[in-house]
Amino acid sequence: MPDNERYSRQMRFAPIGPAGQERLRNGFVVILGCGALGSGIVQNLGRAGVGRLRIVDRDVLEMSNLARQVLFEEEDVRRRLPKAVAAAERIRRINSEIQVESVVTEISPGNILQLIEGANVVADGTDNMEARFLINDACVKAGAPWVYGGALASSGMTMTVLPGRSPCLRCVLEELPDPQALRSCNEAGVLNTLTGIVSAIQSNEVIKLLTGAGEPNPGLLRLDVWTLEFNRSVVKRRADCPACALKRFDYLDAPPREAAFVRGRSQLELNPARPVKLDLAALACSLRQMGKVEYNDYLIHLTLPEAQLAIFQDGRVIIQGLTDVESARRLVRTCVPALA
Ligand SMILES: [Zn+2]
């Protein structure tokens, strides 16, 4: 029996009401990326009683996440938990009535359609445009509404895409911007007040879509929390949009991502050449002679003099401290023979 006292204040808000609350309870939302925006969205939707959440994220928590990412605590960082797992644990403690699932993976052309299958709405909590173009392709193809959100320094943006009814991300931005031209949060920084507001607006869009009440954001909303400028511009569907008009899904149909790529300054990620499932306990045992090992159900954290490695059960390895892919490959082959 749902605890309606819990939701009484939002049910008294007329556009939601008891019927809207029931729709939230029956809703299934997939949150792709659980950093600052994603954890804000998970918190808002979980507290509001959205019945089923799937949280997808590729990363392990770091201390620098705590300033913005509202679901996490110091203890989660000490336990070296993946963000998706820590977020799921926390929101289950906040609301035990909802179903929460965590998936620790990198979203890719190979898995995204499966990850969003059956979702009523998909929420963007990623931190890069390449992932958003992939989300756009997958959601347009699957006909799933999705809510884009971006935040950098003090300015943010959000847009709601209703496939077939409203403009999609590629109607607004046809090509992926040059990565050099895009500053990242690592370089430009980001304010927690901004990610709070953008994730709140994204959550509210999801709530409107699930309840069917209110009008979804019809265009592009830009805001700056420092200068307090809010600007809503109307965008139109493009008759020649590659994705929603021509049904050409360049990002979804792209070849799988290179096995190794640079994630940021002095951070590399290596993906296994073939699917594997590592026995983390056995591997942790053998790695103890090489360096300091910490491990949990999801990953091994290995500290070596030259680098730190996060080795995930699916064979993905994040390497901190090396910038050269070949040295990283050599190191990973030495540490994890199963990945050679
Ligand atoms: Zn489009």
Q: How far is the CA of 235 from the centre of ligand 1 (A)?
A: 10
Q: How far is the CA of 146 from the centre of ligand 1 (A)?
A: 13
- Give the least confident one: 240-249, 268-277, 306-315: 268-277
Whose tokens are 């990850």? That residue is 115
Q: What is the pLDDT of residue 188?
A: 81
Q: Does residue 222 register a pLDDT over 70?
A: yes
Q: How far is the CA of 180 from the centre of ligand 1 (A)?
A: 24
Residues around the ion ligand 1 (C-beta < 5 A): 168, 170-171, 241, 243-244
- Give the least confident one: 21-25, 120-124, 254-258: 254-258
Give the number of other CB atoms < 10 A from CB of residue 47.
16
Whose tokens are 């869009």? That residue is 205
Q: How far is the CA of 245 from the centre of ligand 1 (A)?
A: 6
Over range 99-119, report the average pLDDT: 96
Q: Does residue 60 register a pLDDT over 70?
A: yes
Over range 64-81, report the average pLDDT: 96
- For residue range 145-154, what is the model confidence (pLDDT) as tens digits? 999 999 999 9
Q: How far is the CA of 237 from the centre of ligand 1 (A)?
A: 6
Separation CA 308–CA 94 (nearest Å): 33
- For residue range 240-264, what is the model confidence (pLDDT) as tens digits? 999 999 999 999 999 876 677 777 6
Q: How far is the CA of 145 from the centre of ligand 1 (A)?
A: 13
- Give the least confident one: 176-190, 195-209, 217-231, 283-297: 176-190
Q: What is the pLDDT of residue 187?
A: 74
Q: How far is the CA of 142 from the centre of ligand 1 (A)?
A: 14
Q: How far is the CA of 111 from the centre of ligand 1 (A)?
A: 22
Q: What is the pLDDT of residue 111?
A: 94
Q: What is the pLDDT of residue 339?
A: 86
Of 172, 123, 169, which is closest to residue 144 (Cα–Cα)? 123
Q: How far is the CA of 135 from the centre of ligand 1 (A)?
A: 12
Percent of the chain, pLDDT > 90? 81
- For residue range 1-13, what is the model confidence (pLDDT) as tens digits? 456 799 999 999 9
Separation CA 177–CA 235 (nearest Å): 19
The answer to whether residues 150 and 131 touch, using CB atoms and an 8 Å cutoff, is no
All domains of the chain in start order, with CATH? 8-233 (3.40.50.720), 260-339 (3.30.310.10)
Q: Does residue 180 register a pLDDT over 60?
A: no
Q: What is the pLDDT of residue 208?
A: 98
Q: How far is the CA of 167 from the centre of ligand 1 (A)?
A: 5
Q: How far is the CA of 340 from the centre of ligand 1 (A)?
A: 42
User: Which residue type, as a one-letter code, is found at position 74?
Assistant: E
Q: How far is the CA of 129 from the centre of ligand 1 (A)?
A: 15
Q: How far is the CA of 136 from the centre of ligand 1 (A)?
A: 9
Mean pLDDT over the full length of the chain: 92
What are the structure tokens assigned to 323, written together?
């910038």
Q: Where are the alpha helices (DSSP H) in the chain?
A: 8-11, 17-25, 36-48, 74-78, 83-94, 112-116, 129-142, 169-172, 185-188, 192-211, 280-287, 325-335
